[in-house]
Amino acid sequence: MKIGFVFLVSIIPFTTKVLAENRSCVTNETNCWSCGTNCVARLNNEGEFKVERANTDIATGTMNGYLWAYSGWQNQKSKIKSITIEGSAEKQADGTYTNVTGITNIGSAAFRDCINLTSVVIPESVATIGESVFDRSYKLKSLIIPDSVTTISTTYNGTFASVPLETVYCSNKQKTLCENALTSSSLDASSILKLYHKNAKGLYIVDGKFYQSLADAEAKNEYQFPKKRIYTIEEAERVSKKTGNTFKLRYK
């Protein structure tokens, strides 16, 4: 007599959770500063200044304002050449942003007197830019304002006092917001402001030209559309229906 065994195996589903990362400054770490609620800033030897969340388990962070107080990096500002702010968000059809992750504001006067600053990356998590943020950043020539920004301070000579901006990119809906921000800093908005909008295919349109990103627009790297297919008469006869002396091409 044969004896059989039946083994019952149950499969328990599980989910993988991304472990939180603690980016807070560690003891004796140089050029690292707490800069607000769940916010930390670091400056490396190449002059790259990064602002990010201190704890990635918390969705967002906010920067302190420094209009009436010194920032921790006050004595390092001349070393700052580029600024990158952590963040992302998903834009909905109605123009609102959801799933916001990262830093949501740029604190007042945070980067005032960064005399060697040449580039700034502002993510779509940012909604507010405080007063005097980039005052006296004498080498900052261009800036992209993401569509998520709804407030740019115009008090205390605005945000861009003594900044030699040549180009500022803003979305069509931000036209008045950006014009007011520039004129409050005594800048000529009519010559500086470049308006953009994003089409259904995700391409940015600036001055009638198409770009895959606003960074491409800054670099004047236009999007290259695929070239249209040119059919020979023999190919046209095979794939199309002849109408008079022309062929009506049918596409799948």
Q: What is the pLDDT of residue 201?
A: 86
Q: What is the pLDDT of residue 61?
A: 96
Q: What is the pLDDT of residue 156?
A: 82
pTM over 0.75? The answer is yes
Q: Is the pLDDT of residue 93 over 90?
A: no
Q: Is the pLDDT of residue 56 over 60?
A: yes
Is residue 65 within 8 A of residue 35, CB to CB? The reply is no
Residue given tokens 């001055």 in the structure block: 207
Domain residue limits, the chain: 32-202
**Residue bearing the bigger pLDDT, 241 or 78:** 78
Q: In whole angstroms, how large is the CA radius of gyration of the chain?
A: 26
Q: Is the pLDDT of residue 252 over 50?
A: no
Confidence of residue 22 (pLDDT cuts 50, 70, 90): confident
Q: Is the pLDDT of residue 68 over 70?
A: yes
pLDDT tens by residue, 199-250: 888 899 999 999 999 889 988 999 998 876 666 667 666 666 555 555 555 5
Q: What is the pLDDT of residue 66?
A: 94
Confidence of residue 40 (pLDDT cuts 50, 70, 90): very high
Confidence of residue 152 (pLDDT cuts 50, 70, 90): very high
Integer Cα distance of 247 and 103 in angstroms: 57
Instruction: Supply angle C-alpha 147, 151, 152, rounded to 5.
Output: 100
Q: Is the pLDDT of residue 8 over 80?
A: no
pLDDT tens by residue, 162-196: 999 999 999 999 999 999 999 999 999 999 999 99
- Window from 76-80, 94-98, 126-130, 176-180 with minimum mean pLDDT: 94-98
Which DSSP helix (H) or strand (E) runs through 169?
A: strand 167-171
**How much of the chain exceeds pLDDT 90, in percent?**
68
